[in-house]
Structure 1
Amino acid sequence: MKILRKILFIGVIIFVLIFASAYAFLLLQGKAIIIQQLEGLTHRKVNLGYAGLTLPLNLEIRKLDIPGLAKVDYAYVSPSILGLLSGNIVLNDLKLIRPEFVYEKTQAKTQESSANINTPLVLATSQSRVILQKKQSLRLIIKHLNIKDGKLDFIDRTLEGDGIKLTVKDINFNLTNLYMYPHSAVTDFTFKGKIPWQQGQEEGKIEVDGWLNLFKRDMQATVKIADIDGISLYPYYAKWVDLERARIEKAKLNLVSNIKSVDNNLTAECHLELTDIVFKPRPEEEEQNKAQKIAVAVLDIFKALNKGKIVFNFTIKTKMINPAFSLNNIKDAFEARLAEGRKNNHIAADIVRFPGRLVGGTVKSATDLSRALIDGVF
């Protein structure tokens, strides 16, 4: 028994010495090492307020600032000692409290860029792919990642003018069992956030729930986005619909998408609903212009087809690794739904006020009708 006590006592002394040495080293050199590593990874100036150890060997970081990329108020990293001994970097727990991230899209403008609906919204930039490749060269395992009260600023400067900025706040993100090297494992994740629009408007809400296998490139997830301010997204469809001439002042969108990927072939079945459409007030002596008449008529078509609701169903096919999205998917669904309404004779039966020349067949296709929303050709 005395020998066992001596062994335990010696073990405690050794642990205290190791912890004290590590703490002293981190206190003297750790902050500089962390800054150096982050600057090498991001190619940006890094500022760090504090870095220290807590028992048993957990790392705490405060006031981390990488200008133009991220700010983190508090970070907690709990590594696995056994993982390090096996040659892997294993993080049992990684917590980021009140982080702020910036994602800026600045691809060179082309003939099909700016507000063209053919512009692909590529979610992985060349810079992010380089960083990902560097991470994949490490045998990194994250057992649990938690982001609390986060914020993301998305800035798209590929559009005409000043571009567009969207903010997602109150982000809460949980992820378990992520392997950043070739290894078949199921990673579960959940994401919740809010999108503040103009003052006085209801905030948008985002919820994502699913799993993925990076090695097999398989994935299944459900995305729900409610109360999207359609006017704030106008730069993306400005060449498709003229809101000023149609006198549309307010519109909300709700989106539900069921995503499935098998061997990197990703399919997203999307259901988009347009709600709360408000037209700008018009003086009594002023006639309703043609563009507004057309807009009202088109909305009535969709309401007739869907029991008073304005909905679009469309499918996106892309790749799980380096996905891309084009607003053409929504445009095609819009025109197909209009064509269906005319084909099934829903227009004549259900629309009370409708431009007579459209009923008479002047517009021969849904594409012509979508152009009419801009040109006011009726």
Structure 2
Amino acid sequence: MGVFDDLVGQERAAATLRRAAAAGADLLAGGRGTGMTHAWLFTGPPGSGREEAARAFTAALFCPDQGCGHCDMCHQVEVGSHPDLEIVRPQGLSYGIKDTRRLILRAAGAPTLGRWRVVLFEDADRATEGASNALLKAIEEPPPKTVWLLCAPSPDDMMITIRSRCRLVTLVTPPTAAVAHVLATRENVPPAMAEFAARAAQGHIDRARRLALDAEARARREAVLSIPRSLTGVGECVMAAERLVKTAEDEAAAVTAVLNESEITELRQAYGEGSTGKGLNRGLIRGGAGALKDLEDRQKSRATRTKRDVIDASLLDLVAFYRDVLAVQFGAHVELASEDRRADLDELARASTPEDTLRRIDAIMRCRRRLASNVSPQMAVESMTISLHRPRL
């Protein structure tokens, strides 16, 4: 299998990238390299595989056979150890100008192995305005063999001046059947479970994999989808909001705890804590306290981001649920992401109008916008659950 064979349901994008990789090889060989450019923007809905497509393209640029999938170059890209690949994963709420300037300096170096130097910037839409302006200058005047691969949900999430200088690769939501096939063939998931996970994840490949393989992930989804039925009064709305936010906090803490501890330990060791010998002491040497404070600030930002992402995933499950309610109300013959809760869908469809359902969907989307604007999660989610209970208020 080649590196592009792992891109589920992205045949058109894969064909474009194959041609560009061939053009890149031609350019290195002294040809014109028509079809290869130094800046790319990968866009698509969550779970469509933006980062996977960018990584596959990177492997194809490094690989002598343009992405065979089994050579050392392809393997190094897959595990992230290739010396000419710089992967940027913003873990906090944003990616600042200082980090971007350091990144640009690293990207300016010549390739170690002589082909390309690739910067794969995941979630590039998190770059601040200052960082985006610095990035624009780097993209406008890149070194001859540096390639920038930016990933964002949509072109509109990037500065117009940046996206105008990038070649756009648009990924689509993979079909349910394609995702289910991947789960069944690569993860040995039973067909019924694979179909359920693919349908519930709405084409989000990583989410489908978690639902298929992790019973706790399925339990969390079940808890979220039980919210509409539980909203029988204002008190129940407040309690439902508290449960949702508390679950997000617990999951974010679990995700970041181990990583935080290892980062702090490594930093303390780097600054000499516990060292012995002449001129050394068992505390942090000069500069260590400031570095530790900066690390703790970044970890807090990462924890906040993780919490928001967990809540947002729950909100998207609720949007899918009410979209399915709307489909039932109109008698539309479409695939339902919440088919496993068909009784709840039918009951709510009978007890409300399509206008009520649309107002409920609007309330969820408004909650997402408020969370993105740093509104207190508890307040934003409480307002949403009350609107779900009484959509016309």
TM-score range, shorter chain: under 0.3
Larger RCO of the pair (alpha carbons < 8 Å, separation 6+): 2
TM-score, reference length from structure 1: 0.26
TM-score, reference length from structure 2: 0.25
User: Whose radius of gyration is greater, 1 or 2?
Assistant: 1
* Higher percent of residues as strand: 1
* Higher percent of residues as helix: 2
